[in-house]
């Protein structure tokens, strides 16, 4: 409420600068059935505290938001709808309840939250019910009491505490009772007098403490402040005078304290009498102007002259009031005036638009402007404004008394103006008035005789184009220059009556059309052509500089068709073209372009004028612009808002203005002409609308269909949606009724978006597929002059998840999955251990057999020893292959069985953690239950996540290792295989660090399983050597390279450790079967033997280098791309 009061004060101060001249014609805008109003007979208009406009008609109640109407009608099947469609009165009480009086349906109270009505009807046997169902008047006094005037049963006072009514009726036996039961109006004046106007019993003043009435009746034949018995309207002016409107005897102004009064009645012989004697409504606006609604139109009272200025319907003028039967009046918070008519709908008058006064052809006023298309202006030395039209001759306009004189071409009069198309008007230093026409050449007007002397530019040619004059200029030497459409620039010799063409550029055809001329402060003449750019001409020497458009040069002229030229107060030259505005700096001839991308509404610059504040006013094909050139940087606007645009919504004659039809008068007033007359304004009066608009969310849709919540969307602070509502949208409105089409909007869904969406005049916001959670939807809006309500409005949006996404369901599923996973894991581990023991037993048994056979074979001759050795090697390979094949098969099975549920478990643990984090910030009842639950659950969840990820890593390594032990021959990447093997070793021997240095060796064709076994054996030998040295931290250096030897290319693998090392005698035996330096039972002594045999079968070789106490290096050579 405080905010609204501050806005009201600002508006009053601002609107005081807009003064309506009582003789001015005002323009009404209309709203009726075509715009969505339920019916054209309007009896009441009211603006509520939210900013909505409520309109009562004979067919329903209407709520208006500036864009459309929401209609409330009676439904006999629904008792919560309005009780009757015939709405007579509307008011809002101090508790912000909206009350609606109907004709036959009693009284209604509107519940904004539910959008439903509670009706109060007369109950015959209940004296505390409303006394009559025809409610004519509603009023809330300063104490907040609601008073109800009825048609047949007097006055009622509503008792909010008991929800009952107290009736005050006429009692023929009591002279202190109400004088008549037909109550038309109720009013409380500034002295707390409580007045009741009746339809048949005159005026009453009520003593609310005693419930008694003092009557003021009309007495025939006697002068009385109450001129008749039917009182329809009451109001009070700032002096405390009571104004009384009657049904058929005019308007009374009454000083109650002195009993002095004056009666104002309609007089058909006096145009300044009140419009009609039937007074429907009286209202003093914020400027203390009295508005009177009558059955004969609207009247405004001039306090200074005691005259009335009347505004009636003119069928030929769509901007006149739509109907003369004016029933209702309302002034909204912005100062816009609303009128309800009987049959003409709603009319709106906005004094704000009086900033731009609009004059146009009015057939009902033949002494007004002669034509609608205005194409030229000039001000003479007497302050008279001369106006040229495109089809109706020349107008002499006196701005002081607002009178016109017309001068038109008369074919029978050679001394009339030569043509009715007046394209340019100019007064020279001798006060000669020169007129250029489109087809009649040049004319000079003689003010004394009011006759014209006409001069044809080309007296020989009959072509009208040769006698089209667009520009006239008298230079500082007194020479008269004339710009023509087809024969270029001319100098006129008045004494001889002859024209001489000026050719400053040979016979350049681009100079044939001269549209504008201007002499700057340096003496240069600027010649604007229709297609050859602009020429700066020295009038003495005819030396010239041409400025033209160059598509490859952004610092050239923006277009070659020149429409207007101006030199500003700083000496800069402004050039309006058909393709934008240009500023030329004469000191360096630098050009800067200003176009639509800088904020201009249109690039066709019709006229340029500069006001006393240094601002440029630009007329275009799409409205009028004001440019602040005092804040330019590098020749251009420093901010977009340095350009302020105006259009028809602001009161302009049209968005389209005429070429070079602009004038700044000596008194500072601006004139701009266009296709619908012309606008006149003073730049100091053109101020922005200071009203900060209220904002309302007016609608909500699911899947593009309207949806109603239990509490209406305009009243709710929070809405709840299901995850199934994955498409929804909001509709909103800024309740600024002044050019609502120019209101701007921005919105954001906090929790989903980080930046505001600036959407211009679009009034909807749509969202799809938002995740379940809590969000806040915010809307900001500006008025028509870009004044923003930055506080905006907000609605909390809660989207509920499906049950399977709730935290309790996720916890249950995770516990169950963890239990199942653990059981599966333990069973698999047991099976692996059992299989491992079986394989170890089998190996031991077979190894024992081999040893026994070898002992027997050792006793045989030396020739069989070699074969026995080969047999043992083959047997060892078979055993290892079988072991690795079995192990790979088991590992692959375990990995497949465990990995799928484990992935689901980890995903659900992650979602539970996120849900748990949201619980921590979720508001509760103050007990802190969500934060406690968060603190208890998070450690367990984090532990489960760590364990799950550890299991996943183990499974991934087992899967990769099983894939490496495929026994087929194929091309492989040694470095990729080494990475996998090293990963396994690091996990098993965490005290060993493996340093890798790869060079990108080529692929090798090999048996993958055998090569991997050889590399594992060598690495195992290196780890054992490190352990034998007793190191806590061991290191293995692993490197690859490529070497060429005897026309063969080899992939070389170097494995170097920092273990105990070997002597030369040990190195000689390391490839012997069963040779080992370790204790009995600590190894088979076959590892390096197997590695050596595998490499040999691959046509490779192994070299070893070692030094006791410093470590060993094994170098493996494998042929590249060679099949064994």
Alpha carbon separation from 111 to 307, 734, 848, 917 (Å, rounded): 45, 22, 99, 40
- For residue 783, pLDDT beyond 50: yes
**Contact indicator for 464, 472 with CB cutoff of 8 Å:** no
**Contact indicator for 564, 579 with CB cutoff of 8 Å:** no
How high is the pLDDT of residue 1023? 86
Average pLDDT, the chain: 87
How high is the pLDDT of residue 341? 98
Of the listed ranges 6-10, 61-65, 120-124, 1023-1027, the least confidently predicted one is 6-10
How high is the pLDDT of residue 6? 42
- CA dist., res. 676 & res. 373, Å (int): 6
- Read off the tokens for 183: 């109550």
**Contact indicator for 1116, 1052 with CB cutoff of 8 Å:** yes
- CA dist., res. 698 & res. 715, Å (int): 9
For residue 122, what pLDDT band results from cuts at 50, 70 and 90? very high
How high is the pLDDT of residue 773? 94
For residue 11, what pLDDT band results from cuts at 50, 70 and 90? very low
How high is the pLDDT of residue 220? 87
- For residue 966, pLDDT beyond 50: no
Tokens 């060429």, residue? 1044
- For residue 776, pLDDT beyond 90: yes
For residue 24, what pLDDT band results from cuts at 50, 70 and 90? low
- For residue 766, pLDDT beyond 60: yes
For residue 935, what pLDDT band results from cuts at 50, 70 and 90? low
How high is the pLDDT of residue 878? 46
**Contact indicator for 313, 345 with CB cutoff of 8 Å:** no
How high is the pLDDT of residue 407? 97
- Read off the tokens for 108: 């209604």
Beta bridge partners of 1056: 1037, 1113
Length of the chain as a residue count? 1124
- Read off the tokens for 525: 């003449």
- Read off the tokens for 1: 């409420």
How high is the pLDDT of residue 978? 87
> CB count, 10 Å around CB of 814?
22
How high is the pLDDT of residue 902? 60
- CA dist., res. 943 & res. 947, Å (int): 6
How high is the pLDDT of residue 738? 92
Q: Which residue has the higher pLDDT, 460 or 864?
A: 460
Residue 903 has, within 13 A of its CA and on its CB side, a CA count of 7
- For residue 968, pLDDT beyond 90: no
- Ordered by where they begin, the domains of the chain are 123-354 (2.130.10.10), 359-682 (2.130.10.10), 695-804 (2.60.40.10), 806-961 (no CATH), 969-1119 (3.30.565.10)
- pLDDT tens digit string along 818-859? 888 888 988 888 899 888 888 888 878 877 877 777 677 666
For residue 10, what pLDDT band results from cuts at 50, 70 and 90? very low
- CA dist., res. 384 & res. 380, Å (int): 6
Q: What average pLDDT does the segment 455-465 reach?
A: 78
- For residue 263, pLDDT beyond 80: yes
How high is the pLDDT of residue 8? 42
Contacts of 459 (CB under 8 A, 6+ apart): none
- CA dist., res. 72 & res. 56, Å (int): 10
For residue 521, what pLDDT band results from cuts at 50, 70 and 90? very high
- CA dist., res. 391 & res. 800, Å (int): 69
Q: What average pLDDT does the segment 986-1006 reach?
A: 86
Alpha carbon separation from 505 to 68, 502, 514 (Å, rounded): 61, 9, 14
Phi, psi of 558 (to 5 degrees): -75, -20
How high is the pLDDT of residue 158? 98
How high is the pLDDT of residue 819? 87
Q: Which residue has the higher pLDDT, 392 or 1097?
A: 392
Phi, psi of 674 (to 5 degrees): -155, -155
- For residue 498, pLDDT beyond 80: yes
- CA dist., res. 1020 & res. 1008, Å (int): 18
Of the listed ranges 7-11, 247-251, 340-344, 698-702, the least confidently predicted one is 7-11
Contacts of 991 (CB under 8 A, 6+ apart): 1031, 1032, 1033, 1034
Residue 769 has, within 13 A of its CA and on its CB side, a CA count of 0
- CA dist., res. 432 & res. 378, Å (int): 12
Q: Which residue has the higher pLDDT, 247 or 807?
A: 247
- For residue 240, pLDDT beyond 50: yes
Contacts of 271 (CB under 8 A, 6+ apart): 310
pLDDT > 70: what percent of the chain?
85
DSSP per residue over 455-509, as a string?
E-SSSS---GGGGBEEEEEE-TTSPEEEEESSS-EEEEETTTTEEEE--SSTT-G
- For residue 256, pLDDT beyond 90: yes
Q: In what order do the strands lie in the sheet with 69-72?
A: 42-47, 53-57, 60-64, 69-72
Of the listed ranges 246-250, 634-638, 651-655, the least confidently predicted one is 634-638
- CA dist., res. 754 & res. 759, Å (int): 16
- pLDDT tens digit string along 1047-1057? 788 899 999 99
Alpha carbon separation from 520 to 159, 423, 541, 577 (Å, rounded): 77, 22, 16, 18
- CA dist., res. 1023 & res. 1060, Å (int): 10
How high is the pLDDT of residue 493? 94
SS3 for 413-432 is CCCCCCCCCEEEEEECCCCC
Q: What average pLDDT does the segment 330-353 reach?
A: 95
- For residue 19, pLDDT beyond 80: no
Question: How far does Cα 559 stand from its chain's mean position?
Answer: 33
- CA dist., res. 663 & res. 855, Å (int): 127
Of the listed ranges 445-459, 615-629, 949-963, the least confidently predicted one is 949-963
How high is the pLDDT of residue 544? 93
Q: What average pLDDT does the segment 1072-1076 reach?
A: 72
Contacts of 829 (CB under 8 A, 6+ apart): none
In the chain, DSSP finds a helix count (H) and a strand count (E) of: 8, 74
Q: What average pLDDT does the segment 94-118 reach?
A: 97
- pLDDT tens digit string along 143-180? 999 999 999 999 999 999 999 999 999 999 999 999 99
How high is the pLDDT of residue 258? 95
Q: Which residue has the higher pLDDT, 20 or 625?
A: 625
Q: In what order do the strands lie in the sheet with 534-537?
A: 514-519, 525-529, 534-537, 544-547
- For residue 756, pLDDT beyond 50: yes
Q: In what order do the strands lie in the sheet with 337-341?
A: 29-31, 346-349, 337-341, 326-331
Beta bridge partners of 468: 438
- CA dist., res. 595 & res. 781, Å (int): 27
- For residue 880, pLDDT beyond 80: no
């Amino acid at each position: 409420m405080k905010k609204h009061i501050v806005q009201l004060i600002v508006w009053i101060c601002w609107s005081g600068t807009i003064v309506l001249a009582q003789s001015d014609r005002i323009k009404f805008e209309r709203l009726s059935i075509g715009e969505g109003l339920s019916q054209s007979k309007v009896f009441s208009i009211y603006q509520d505290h939210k900013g909505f406009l409520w309109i009562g008609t004979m067919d329903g109640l209407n709520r208006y938001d500036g864009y459309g109407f929401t209609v409330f009608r009676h439904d006999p099947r629904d008792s919560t709808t309005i009780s009757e469609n015939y709405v007579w009165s509307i008011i809002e009480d101090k508790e912000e309840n909206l009350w609606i009086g109907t004709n036959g349906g009693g009284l209604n109270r509107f519940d904004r939250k539910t959008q439903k009505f509670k009706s109060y009807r007369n109950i015959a046997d209940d004296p505390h019910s409303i006394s009559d169902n025809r409610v004519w008047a509603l009023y809330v006094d300063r104490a907040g009491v609601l008073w109800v005037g009825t048609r047949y049963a007097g006055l009622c006072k509503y008792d909010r505490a008991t929800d009952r009514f107290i009736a005050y009726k006429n009692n023929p036996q009591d002279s202190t009772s109400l004088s008549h039961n037909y109550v038309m109006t109720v009013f409380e004046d500034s002295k707390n007098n409580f007045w009741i106007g009746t339809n048949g019993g005159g005026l009453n003043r009520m003593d609310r403490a005693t419930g008694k009435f003092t009557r003021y009746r009309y007495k025939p034949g006697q002068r009385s402040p109450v001129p008749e018995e039917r009182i329809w309207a009451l109001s009070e002016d700032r002096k405390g005078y009571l104004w009384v409107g009657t049904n058929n005897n005019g308007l009374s102004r009454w000083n109650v304290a002195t009993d002095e009064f004056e009666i104002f009645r309609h007089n058909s012989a006096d145009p300044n009498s009140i419009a009609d004697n039937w007074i429907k409504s009286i209202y003093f606006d914020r400027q203390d102007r009295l508005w009177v609604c009558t059955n004969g139109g609207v009247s405004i009272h001039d306090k200074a002259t005691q005259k009335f200025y009347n505004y009636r319907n003119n069928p030929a003028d769509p901007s006149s009031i739509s109907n003369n039967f004016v029933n209702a009046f309302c002034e909204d918070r912005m100062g816009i005036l609303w009128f309800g008519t009987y049959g003409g709908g709603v009319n709106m008058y906005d004094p704000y638009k009086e900033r731009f006064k609009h004059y146009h052809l009015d057939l009902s006023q033949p002494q007004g402007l002669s034509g609608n298309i205005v194409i030229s202006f000039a001000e003479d030395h007497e302050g008279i404004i001369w106006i040229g039209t495109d089809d109706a001759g020349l107008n002499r306009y006196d701005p002081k008394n607002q009178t016109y004189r017309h001068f038109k071409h008369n074919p029978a009069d050679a001394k009339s103006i030569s043509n009715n198309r007046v394209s340019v008007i100019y007064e020279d230093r001798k006060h000669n008035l020169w007129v250029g026409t489109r087809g009649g050449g040049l004319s000079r007007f003689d003010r004394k005789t009011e006759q014209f002397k006409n001069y044809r530019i080309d007296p020989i040619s009959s072509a009208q184009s040769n006698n089209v004059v667009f520009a006239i200029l008298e230079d500082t030497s007194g020479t008269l220059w004339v710009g023509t459409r087809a024969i270029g620039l001319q100098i006129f010799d008045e004494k001889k009556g002859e024209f001489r063409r000026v050719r400053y550029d040979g016979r350049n055809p681009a100079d044939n059309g001269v549209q504008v001329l201007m002499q700057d402060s340096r003496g240069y003449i600027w010649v604007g052509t229709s297609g050859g750019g602009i020429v700066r001409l020295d009038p003495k020497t005819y030396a010239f500089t041409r400025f033209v458009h160059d598509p490859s040069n952004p610092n050239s002229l923006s277009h070659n068709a020149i429409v207007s030229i101006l030199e500003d107060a700083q000496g800069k030259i402004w050039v309006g073209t058909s393709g934008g505005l240009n500023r030329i700096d004469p000191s360096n001839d630098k050009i800067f372009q200003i176009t639509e991308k800088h904020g201009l509404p249109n690039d066709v610059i019709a006229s340029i004028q500069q006001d006393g504040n240094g601002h440029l006013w630009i007329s275009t094909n799409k409205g009028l612009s004001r440019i602040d050139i005092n804040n330019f940087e590098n020749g251009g606007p420093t901010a977009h808002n340095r350009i302020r645009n105006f259009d028809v919504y602001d009161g302009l004659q049209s968005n389209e203005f005429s070429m070079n039809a602009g004038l700044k008068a000596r008194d500072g007033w601006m004139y701009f002409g266009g296709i619908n007359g012309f606008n006149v304004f003073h730049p100091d009066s053109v101020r922005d609308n200071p009203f900060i608009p209220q904002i309302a969310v007016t609608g909500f849709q699911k899947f593009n269909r309207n949806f109603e919540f239990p509490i209406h969307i305009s009243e709710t602070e929070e809405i709840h949606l299901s995850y199934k509502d994955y498409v929804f949208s909001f509709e909103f409105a800024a309740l600024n009724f002044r050019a609502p089409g120019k209101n701007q909007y921005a919105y954001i869904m906090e929790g989903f978006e980080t930046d505001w969406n600036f959407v211009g005049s679009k009034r909807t916001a749509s969202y799809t597929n938002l995740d379940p959670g809590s969000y806040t939807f915010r809307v900001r809006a500006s008025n028509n002059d870009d004044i923003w309500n930055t506080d905006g409005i907000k609605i909390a949006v809660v989207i509920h998840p499906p049950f399977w996404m709730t935290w309790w369901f996720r916890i249950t599923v995770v516990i169950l999955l963890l239990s199942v996973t653990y059981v599966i894991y333990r069973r698999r581990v047991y099976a692996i251990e059992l299989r491992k023991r079986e394989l170890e037993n089998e190996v031991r048994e077979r190894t024992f057999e081999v040893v026994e056979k070898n002992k027997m074979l050792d006793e045989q001759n030396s020739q069989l020893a070699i074969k026995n050795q080969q047999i043992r090697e083959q047997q060892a390979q078979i055993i290892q292959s079988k072991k690795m094949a079995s192990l790979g098969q088991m590992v692959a099975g375990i990995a497949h069985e465990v990995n799928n549920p484990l992935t689901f478990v980890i995903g659900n643990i992650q979602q539970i953690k996120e849900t748990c984090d949201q619980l921590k910030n979720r508001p509760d009842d103050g007990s802190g239950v969500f934060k406690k639950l968060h603190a208890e659950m998070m450690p367990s969840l984090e532990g489960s996540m760590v364990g799950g990820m550890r299991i996943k890593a183990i499974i991934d390594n087992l899967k990769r290792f099983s894939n490496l032990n495929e026994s087929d021959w194929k091309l492989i990447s040694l470095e990729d295989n080494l990475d996998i093997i090293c990963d396994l070793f690091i996990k098993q021997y965490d005290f060993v660090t493996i340093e890798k240095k790869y060079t990108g060796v080529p692929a090798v064709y090999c048996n993958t399983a055998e090569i991997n076994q050889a590399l594992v054996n060598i690495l195992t030998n290196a780890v054992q050597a490190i352990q034998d040295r007793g190191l806590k931290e061991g290191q293995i250096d692993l490197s690859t390279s490529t070497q060429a030897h005897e026309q063969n290319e080899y992939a070389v693998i170097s494995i170097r450790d920092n273990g105990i090392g070997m002597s030369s005698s040990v190195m000689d035996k390391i490839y012997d079967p069963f040779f080992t330096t370790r204790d009995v039972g600590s190894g088979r002594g076959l590892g390096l033997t197997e590695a050596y045999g595998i490499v040999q079968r691959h046509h490779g070789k192994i070299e070893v280098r070692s030094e006791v106490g410093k470590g060993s290096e094994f170098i493996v050579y494998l042929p590249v791309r060679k099949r064994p």
